[in-house]
Structure 1
Amino acid sequence: MDTTMKKSGLRQHFLNWYNNTTLIRSDAQIQREKYLFGTLGIEKGPEFNRWALLPAAVLIQLSVGSLYAWSNYNSPLDSLMWGADNFKANPSLAQAPNVFYVAVGFFGLSAATLGPWLERRGPVQALLLGVTLFMLGHIVAAIGAFTQVYALVFIGYGCIAGIGFGLTYISPVSPLQKWFPDRRGLASGFAVAGFGGGTTVASYYISYLITTYGVGYSFLITGITYAGIMYTLIPIFRVPPPGYTVKNIAVDVVKGAEAVVASPVNSPVSSPTREKAEKSEKDVVVIQEDTNIAIKDLFNRRDLLELVTSMDFILMYLMLMANSITGLLIVSRLSNMVQQLFGKPAYEGTTMVAINSLVNMAGRIIFSSMSDIFGRRPMFIFTLTVQIASIYGILASAHQGVYGGFLFCIFCATMCYGAGFGLIPAFLADMFGAKMTGATHGFILTAWSFDGVVGGLIFTAIYNSQIHKIPGTTLVDPASYDVDFYWVSAIVIMGWIVTVLFVRTDLKARFLPLHKGEIIRSRLFGSLFLIGTFGIRRMTKDEEEKEWNEYLIKAQTGQVIVGKLLNGGRPRGVTAGSA
């Protein structure tokens, strides 16, 4: 009995942790936050303007973007730990890239675990915790370098700083999506742009510190200086007051939902319970204001676990995983590849890492801004297509010794990699509402972490088993990378197929209940295809409209609850939105 009760209590605690994403603020706090420094308790001075969040977010992300400059640590750290001559003779001893992968893993774990907490406590508390862990992790890593204990570097930078990286990264994203419901793509791009561009500054900064003071002091100085910058920016962040709208667009609006509510519903059937509707001569149901709330509730659900286990989220998860893996593995090894494949000096490796970070940053801003015009899904299809071509271009250029072609393909892949992170917060806000962005964004970043940890370790293991040098030179044979890039390309191709065929963005494809035997559906060339035990069936436009109108009418009269038809209706499928 006691064991059962404990399990039940733990389960309830787990559900409460993830499903409770409500931020509670007093009227006095909301009033104070009208002022720029209101989060510090100051009710005077300049008033807060949402545009102040953009440069603040960029600077925060520039600081945590130092994670992408890790490749500058690879050779110096391994040389310090194993001895320079020993490591040069035995490059398979390398462990430094694995520190990066561990940091990526804890980055995603913290984002997924603490995303709901961020929504409950607000960005100020989240940033305070994240920045503090970022600084402490660097200090522990510095101690590990000073004492030549690799485990402390893994614990400090990989675990503690990794958690700080993750929480600090997602903290600016959520408030920006809430303050800019009219420009989600732009806000999304700026919210994460600095993370991609942070390597530009950090590459030279870290390289200079390593050369001048050594690896240990580089960790120490980097952690303290970046933390100091971020601490000064924290008071700017906050979330909008209740009822906040821009151009009549509310914070928690799933893309397309407002159009459904504002439009009349053509009803092919009569309903005896239609007490809150008015019927015209053309048998049109006009949804009244109070029933609009019920209709919106179909699209603006609050159950986080329901969202992250829905088919929509799972497909987007696979899409982001495929879009991230190439750029992530390149970023962590670029400096090494430039030196080992083409014989370039260390300073050029640092320069290429810096340029690559600018490309990463540009991809985040350019593609996310374009997505406000062309849509999020088309942008993802484009980025995945370019990455497939880039992978084989990288291999061909490396084998032929064409340095310029190699860099061009690297930069193309990196720009598309950055684009994915600029696009995904806005895409999540479109699909699930901006109020859930902090939590859903945290969860979906585990796709990136999975790439970094599992993909990175596999990549390293295969590379170490394949590595061999070109006879008579100190250069690594490009063939050492062939197997790795082949399996990476297979994952990107899988993501392209998923995005083109199965990622749905229109409400009908997402919310119409499943048919009997249906497994998944695809919107292709404007038509909805149902795939299941019955094979593949194309729905006609008339069938779509009829089922959609029936669905909305039943929602209006309270006969639809999370995708099931009540009052004698046969359950048509699983939770609404998961199909």
Structure 2
Amino acid sequence: MVPPAALCVHLCIGQAYAFSVFNLPMTRLLGVSQSTPADWKLTDLGWIFSIAMVFLGLSAALFGRWVEEGGPRKAMFTAGVCWASAFLISALGVYLHNLWIIYFGYGVVGGCALGIGYISPVSTLMKWFPDRPGMATGMAIMGFGGGALIASPLSVWLMSLFATPSDVGVLNTFIVLGCVYFVFMMVGSAIVRVPAPGWQPAGYTPPKVASKLMTRNDVYVYQAVKTPQFWLIWIVLFANTTAGIGVLGQASAMSQEMFPGQITAVAAAGLVGLMSLFNMGGRFSWASLSDYIGRKNTYFVYMTLGFALYVTVPYAGAHGNIVLFVICFLIIVSMYGGGFSTVPAYLRDMFGTRYVGAIHGILLTAWSAAGIVGPVLINYIREYNVTHGVPKAQAYNTTMYIMAGLLVIGFIANLCVTAVDKRHHMAADNEADAPRTPAPAEPTGAVPSRA
């Protein structure tokens, strides 16, 4: 019942990827049929998602230790309350036509729900599946990638249901979504369970640590941040996320401008839906594969294959090869999702299981940074090229090469990852004092008290 509990939370907060369906209707709250000068601009509404992504990373970093020590049930309950409140506060903002209330509601409160809810089941699932930690986190995190597949058509249907000649239907849709998500997230918090200390699946024998990168020791959360390994993995996640999030957010416009007259708005919308499926599937499949080939090797695949795909996109556009273009985008977005689901297991290999949720929370600041840098690179470089006479069909070429360069940086950072020095390990003889007492180095010839 633990994977369904995780999905109850992640499928709900995954709605964040579908928030763009509200953007155009919210530019017509007063005019209804068309925007008026008093209505909000699309550029102002775009900040709602950006604020939510920033607070996702900040809240995950700030509350990561509390989530780890308080347990998944408290965290899921808190995330459910915050996520429902985000929609209800945003509904008030719509009613009063005050955009700052929505910034606070969906952006700040909703962003905190995203951060706390995102990391809440991670370490719990890995404790239930010690033999397949990548698969375990993939099961949960794929829900975040697939949440938009449910939220997008549901939101559009609800807005059409509540729409009247004087109302676009956003207000009532926010209220209904807040109530529905609250119920499902409460179910998830009620059925989640933590295994007993030392619990193992029947017939499972912990393997000897064959990989130099894997450890059976734990590293305290704030000690982990002091290691070079943490920041190298931060760079790896930032590079992979920045490269993917810019493409994911602009796939519709990019495909139509690179293939004018060949890809229609309807076809572009279909491409976005297909990319959502690959985003979700990649989170499970790539993370599961990492259980067999290792996390470091999996990220090598992301960086190497991603580099080849990004430099191929301009070629596909120049030769009008839509099939090649679509294949490149689908694989890219699958690795974007896979990067998120593989990294918790990567952290578990490096820093142990005890504080992996808290460490993961701090690492998600890379997502916040990428959520700003990725769209900025795509949008501003395109605008610069267009204003300087570059045809729209070629305006994204420079960005694709920059994204490929980012993956080279990520490849180098991943190459530099080595095992964490044992001086960072927690003291094994006194678990209560372990967070404040790193284990000293073993003297030459001494027998370790416990591996």
Q: Structure 1 residues 77, 304: closer, same or farther in 2, change over 3 A? A: same
Correspondent of 2:306 among 379, 382, 387: 387
Distance, in Å, in 1 between the alignment partners of 2:22 and 2:252 is 10
The DSSP-based 3-state class of the residue aligned with 1:95 is helix
Residue 413 in 1 paired to residue 368 in 2? no
The superposition leaves residues 195-254 of structure 1 with CA deviations (integer Å, 9 ceiling, x where unpaired) of 11122222222233344443333333323222221211211213222232342439xx98
Residue 221 in 1 paired to residue 176 in 2? yes
Unaligned runs of 5+ in 1: 1-51, 260-295, 514-550, 560-579
Correspondent of 2:107 among 148, 158, 161: 158
Distance, in Å, in 2 between the alignment partners of 1:156 and 1:69 is 16
Q: CA deviation at 1:329?
A: 1.9
Distance, in Å, in 2 between the alignment partners of 1:109 and 1:151 is 20
Distance, in Å, in 2 between the alignment partners of 1:497 and 1:166 is 28
Residue 426 in 1 paired to residue 345 in 2? yes
* Number of the residue aligned with 1:324: 241
* Number of the residue aligned with 1:95: 44
* Number of the residue aligned with 1:236: 191
> What is the number of residues matched between the two proteins?
420
Cα contact 1:138–1:222 (8 A) shared by 2: yes
Correspondent of 1:310 among 227, 232, 235: 227
Distance, in Å, in 2 between the alignment partners of 1:81 and 1:496 is 49
* Number of the residue aligned with 2:421: 511
Cα contact 1:71–1:336 (8 A) shared by 2: no
* Number of the residue aligned with 2:136: 187
Distance, in Å, in 1 between the alignment partners of 2:34 and 2:213 is 66
Cα contact 1:100–1:332 (8 A) shared by 2: no
* Number of the residue aligned with 1:125: 74
Distance, in Å, in 2 between the alignment partners of 1:470 and 1:402 is 24
Give the letter for the 2:417 counterpart.
Answer: V
Give the letter for the 1:332 counterpart.
Answer: G
Distance, in Å, in 1 between the alignment partners of 2:348 and 2:297 is 16
The superposition leaves residues 159-209 of structure 1 with CA deviations (integer Å, 9 ceiling, x where unpaired) of 111110111111111210122112111112112111111222222222333
The DSSP-based 3-state class of the residue aligned with 2:196 is coil
Q: Structure 1 residues 257, 302: closer, same or farther in 2, change over 3 A? A: same
The superposition leaves residues 473-493 of structure 1 with CA deviations (integer Å, 9 ceiling, x where unpaired) of xxx923333443333332222
Structure with higher RCO (Cα < 8 A, 6+ apart): 2
Residue 245 in 1 paired to residue 208 in 2? no
Correspondent of 2:121 among 154, 164, 172: 172
The DSSP-based 3-state class of the residue aligned with 1:229 is helix
Computing the radius of gyration from Cα coordinates, the structure with the larger value is 1
* C-alpha RMSD of matched pairs (Å): 3.4
Distance, in Å, in 2 between the alignment partners of 1:304 and 1:127 is 21
Give the number of the structure whose residues are more often strand, by fraction: 1
Unaligned runs of 5+ in 2: 163-168, 424-440
The superposition leaves residues 402-460 of structure 1 with CA deviations (integer Å, 9 ceiling, x where unpaired) of 43333221111100011111211111111111111110110111111110034434544
The DSSP-based 3-state class of the residue aligned with 1:194 is helix
Distance, in Å, in 2 between the alignment partners of 1:175 and 1:256 is 23
Matches within 5 A, 1:454-493: 454-467=373-386, 477-493=392-408
Q: Structure 1 residues 557, 232: closer, same or farther in 2, change over 3 A? A: closer
The DSSP-based 3-state class of the residue aligned with 2:354 is helix
Matches within 5 A, 1:53-92: 53-78=2-27, 80=29
Give the letter for the 2:153 counterpart.
Answer: Y
Q: Structure 1 residues 93, 64: closer, same or farther in 2, change over 3 A? A: closer
Correspondent of 1:351 among 270, 283, 288: 270
Cα contact 1:145–1:216 (8 A) shared by 2: yes
The superposition leaves residues 230-280 of structure 1 with CA deviations (integer Å, 9 ceiling, x where unpaired) of 211211213222232342439xx9875999xxxxxxxxxxxxxxxxxxxxx
Cα contact 2:7–2:143 (8 A) shared by 1: yes
Cα contact 2:385–2:395 (8 A) shared by 1: yes
Distance, in Å, in 2 between the alignment partners of 1:211 and 1:404 is 34
The superposition leaves residues 101-158 of structure 1 with CA deviations (integer Å, 9 ceiling, x where unpaired) of 2211111111111110011211111111111111111222233334443323322222
Q: Structure 1 residues 325, 311: closer, same or farther in 2, change over 3 A? A: same
Give the letter for the 2:409 counterpart.
Answer: M
Give the letter for the 1:194 counterpart.
Answer: G
The DSSP-based 3-state class of the residue aligned with 2:198 is coil
Cα contact 2:83–2:113 (8 A) shared by 1: yes
Give the letter for the 1:392 counterpart.
Answer: V
Percent of residue pairs identical = 31
Give the letter for the 2:421 counterpart.
Answer: F
